[in-house]
Amino acid sequence: MAQVRTSHGAASLRVALVQLELQEVSTAAEKRLAIDRAAELIRQASDADLFVLPELAPVGYSDAAFAALDELAEDEFGPAVGADCRKVFAEVARERNCFVCYGTIGRRIGGKFGIRQVVLDNTGSVAASYDKCHLCDFGDCAETLHFTPGTQLAFFECRGWRVGLLICADMRYTELSRELVIGRGCDILVQPAAFARDVSFASWPSFVECRALENQVYWAGVNYSGQQFGGSIWCPPWVDGDRLTASRLGIEESVRIFEATREELDMARRGFAFRRLRRERTEYDDPVVPVQQAASSAL
């Protein structure tokens, strides 16, 4: 059975959900304006250890951006220029002594592009980079027309907490969350998203609660603001419908800060042993076929 990592660090971690207004970006100049606007929102917010922006934010999840991939794309490990997210957010991270998780169009090998989320630590250095593994091609999405999927997991350490990265539709695939938590020992899963209110929107909270509770981790789902978006979600590792509940934002642009605590995490894992008692797939035996049924099948 896989070993569950027991991590030690700060007693709590403050996570800021940055529900940002979607910008229609198609040029480097427009991109720089969107970056500066998002950076200012973080600068004006209360203190937090980690600020999380939506999927492809601040570049923008839009047809305009998808039509200008080459101009807008970034290499998170290459030299940062004036219109790159990394240059501006590195300054913010150092100023606020915080981690910043932002979205960008990632330049991939072979002239291809990925939906990328980059995390900068409080020194402005890249702590993690993740290309979305499960592209969305249902509802209002047609991502495979523009992007290629990633293949690597991503997680990082923030003040002694291990945080795993997913992007939007990744939540629908049990194996990814399970591997980040059971295999890699994550305490918090963050899910930047661009959830328009299409046929898939209503099921988002159900998936979040299921993934948070089955893995006994905190979950931060961060959406854009606006009439067609909104509803960002913070879910604790256990909900009881009374004192412990998932929290949802409205549709307005805002920065909302939530606190993850070791006490609450440990309480959920001690009180509900289903994660500790789980079995690996290989531990399940094949079903036993009754003798009478086996004989009938042989005729």
Q: Give the pLDDT of the chain (299 residues) as one tens digit per residue.
A: 333 444 456 899 999 999 999 998 999 999 999 999 999 999 999 999 999 999 999 999 999 999 999 999 998 777 777 779 999 999 999 999 999 999 999 998 888 999 999 999 999 999 999 999 999 887 667 788 889 999 999 999 999 999 999 999 999 999 999 999 999 999 999 999 999 998 889 999 999 999 999 999 999 999 999 999 999 999 999 998 888 899 999 999 999 999 999 999 999 999 988 888 888 888 888 898 877 765 666 66
Cα end-to-end distance, the chain, whole Å: 40
Task: Give the CB-side neighbour count of residue 118, counting CA atoms within 13 A.
Answer: 27
Residues 6+ apart with CB under 8 A from 280: 1, 2
Alpha-carbon span 118 to 127, nearest angstrom: 8
Alpha-carbon span 49 to 15, nearest angstrom: 6
- CATH 3.40.50.2020: does it fit domain 12-298? no
Q: Give all strands (DSSP E) within the chain, no chain letters.
A: 12-19, 50-52, 99-107, 113-120, 126-131, 155-158, 161-165, 188-192, 218-222, 233-235, 247-248, 254-261
